[in-house]
Structure 1
Amino acid sequence: MNTKESAEIKALLQKYQADECTPDERARVEAWLEQLGKTSLTGITPSAEERILNRIRKRVIKGIPSRSAGRRVYVLQYLKVAALLLLVPGGFLLYSKWKQPAPQALQQYSTARGERKVLTLPDSTIVTLNSSSVLTISADFGEKKRIVKLTGEGFFQVKHDASKPFIVSTGNIQTQVLGTQFNVHAYNNESEYKIAVVSGMVSVGEKQAANKVVTIGKVLTRNLMLVYNLKAHQHYIKTADADKLSAWQNGQLYFDEATIPEITSTLSRMYNIDVQLQDKPGRNCKYTIGFNSQPLDKVLRVLSQLTGITYQYTNHKVFIQSQNCH
């Protein structure tokens, strides 16, 4: 620690002792002192530490204002700080604690409309993000659990580790696995979350009061999909072709009992276009159909024949009107 840094720390402690700190400075000092109070002085035996404190007690104890009775809980910690400043050569011990690294920040990855991205997580899990999606990795990822947060759609190939469950958090729904492949569809502008399993087993839970997670449905295995309605907080499990549902990774489209709004929302994300859906009858009809990397105009023509929609495609915008269910 250089002379300037030592002087800055000493000045801040002196301001705290004189009750002259700003609220931010006070919070900084007291949070640090509280942490310091949980441990002994590194490299100093308890008996030596007590001798040090006794030697400086008379020098500093009188400087703590009597009116600050609530802060007397910090007296011992303050004496430790004073001991470090006064007696430890160079103040190195204090400096090493004061300058300890900040907690690791969250890592976040995102995709724009029309973009897909393949990620390799620290545990070697591979995640493919679909368009308009965000994946956030917890700061303590891999310590006891492997927790990520997803908004949008992602396909997960989870590296097996029985001691560290892998958890995908989407709103108030948690999907937990040990090692498997599954697809999570959870866009905030849609009414349902969908979790489909390609291999292995997946458990799905719902967050409730006090962060308690209650398992919903049964354990999902290959080609089972749980559909969760965000408004009704209800779910059902159905058989689905998980390979087709995750085929978007290869630029393919597959809709499984999807409504017109869900279909148009997917087209907007995948083709990076603006889609305006007119409020007409038939918007809640459900359709199952797939496309193999087709251009947008062909997809629209097929949808028009299947669903009866009419559309206009101009200036990178699509205007769609839905009709009665076909």
Structure 2
Amino acid sequence: MPNDPASLDDLFHKVNTHTASASELVLFLRLLEDPEVQERWTRFQEWEQAPEQALPDGLRDRLVLPPAANEPSAAPRKPLYRKILPYAAAAALVLLVRLFLPRAEGPYLLTAVTGDGEIRTVILPDSTTVKLNARSSLRYSENAATGERIVQLEGQGFFIVRDDAVRPFVVQSGLLKTQVLGTSFDVRAYPGVTPMVAVVSGKVKVSDNTGQSILLSKGLRATYDEHADRFSKFAENPASMSAWQQKLIDMQGLSLREVCSILETGYGVTIDLQPGIENFELSGHQANTSLQSTLESICFIFNLRFEQKGKTIYIRQQ
């Protein structure tokens, strides 16, 4: 959690301008329970002086939910609502408060999040299975079993989608949208790493926000150049896709900087590269048994050396 005033103010600004990510919105709600943090935010007059207004029509029922029959009643949370309402969009409020309240029927958004080095399996309401890689988040609708099947992914996830010819399954990830009917595929959408979609079975359609699209069937993967707005398609053995689930790093066509971003995500470290080596291109798969062994293999390929100081790793030429 951020613990300095500048970071807290930055988070407050993002929530207030509706630019916060899913993980930042979750963090925002958690920080609201910290008296020290609330005291820091009292310098914003509208934060403390916001009137105890009625919730918008339909929103109260979504937030103040009755406890399940076998669960104790929860304490009222009106002060928290009073402080949040002037800042968080109603949709974001529904998304996040649902994490802390009992379940009930309704069109709510839920979020699954993974931390450093964590891989988590999520079963969606329509029985679709998603395996999330480290530092990833997945937002999905609680009524996906009967309504729209649209999810939002930040990070990386492997999807095994339940067949439904009437309701396509859609993954929104950054600039890309992947639409399927029933298949298994991998989506990579980490910041600083080339976006990628790979199909293990079935067929998907991937499109960007300019209207370009590409069809992928079993054994095909596509990467996306965000600067040129261009897709590139490659053939690959389906057994090699989603290598991260088998503790392998898929380095095909990635730069050293991109591979280091993957290692930073998986191990919670920062990697500092000597200028001039960040664009070295790698290929194939690397066994990811440990951070040290992976770095040793990469450095051997390019005749580099590395040194670790705390949570920072420095990679330099010999």
Which category describes the TM-score, using the shorter chain as reference length?
Answer: 0.5 to 0.7
Deviation at 1:308, TM superposition (A): 2.6
Query: Residue 217 of structure 2 aligns to which amino acid in structure 1?
Result: T
Residues 175/153 of structure 1: CA separation in 2 closer, same or farther (3 Å cut)? same
Number of the residue aligned with 2:224: 228
Query: Residue 124 of structure 1 aligns to which amino acid in structure 2?
Result: S
Number of the residue aligned with 1:186: 189
Deviation at 1:202, TM superposition (A): 0.7
Query: Residue 291 of structure 2 aligns to which amino acid in structure 1?
Result: L
User: Are 1:289 and 2:291 an aligned pair?
Assistant: no
- TM-score between both structures, scaled by the size of structure 2: 0.64
Could you say which structure has the larger radius of gyration? 1
Distance in 2 between residues matched to 1:300 and 1:202, nearest whole Å: 35
Aligned length: 223
Distance in 2 between residues matched to 1:307 and 1:133, nearest whole Å: 30
Distance in 2 between residues matched to 1:240 and 1:184, nearest whole Å: 15
Query: Residue 196 of structure 2 aligns to which amino acid in structure 1?
Result: K
Residues 23/121 of structure 1: CA separation in 2 closer, same or farther (3 Å cut)? closer
Q: Is contact 2:160–2:185 with CA below 8 Å preserved after alignment?
A: yes
Decide which of 266, 269, 280 is 2:265's aligned counterpart. Answer: 269
Deviation at 1:24, TM superposition (A): 5.1
Number of the residue aligned with 1:46: none
User: Are 1:216 and 2:218 an aligned pair?
Assistant: no
Decide which of 139, 159, 162 is 1:156's aligned counterpart. Answer: 159
Give CA deviations for 1:263-287 in whole Å, capped at 9, x if unaligned.
1111112223222223x22321211
- TM-score between both structures, scaled by the size of structure 1: 0.62
Distance in 2 between residues matched to 1:134 and 1:202, nearest whole Å: 21
Distance in 2 between residues matched to 1:297 and 1:174, nearest whole Å: 36
Decide which of 229, 251, 256 is 2:252's aligned counterpart. Answer: 256
Identity over aligned pairs, percent: 30
Q: Which stretch shows the higher mean deviation, 177-186 or 246-255?
A: 246-255
Deviation at 1:236, TM superposition (A): 1.5
Query: Residue 250 of structure 1 aligns to which amino acid in structure 2?
Result: Q
Give CA deviations for 1:147-192 in whole Å, capped at 9, x if unaligned.
00001000001111111111000122110111111000111233x2
Q: Is contact 2:159–2:185 with CA below 8 Å preserved after alignment?
A: yes
Decide which of 114, 131, 134 is 2:134's aligned counterpart. Answer: 131
User: Are 1:240 and 2:236 an aligned pair?
Assistant: yes
Decide which of 293, 297, 302 is 1:302's aligned counterpart. Answer: 297
Secondary structure, counterpart of 1:228 in structure 2: strand
Distance in 1 between residues matched to 2:120 and 2:144, nearest whole Å: 20
Secondary structure, counterpart of 1:132 in structure 2: coil
Distance in 2 between residues matched to 1:293 and 1:104, nearest whole Å: 40
Q: Is contact 2:270–2:311 with CA below 8 Å preserved after alignment?
A: yes
Distance in 1 between residues matched to 2:317 and 2:149, nearest whole Å: 43
Distance in 2 between residues matched to 1:314 and 1:241, nearest whole Å: 39
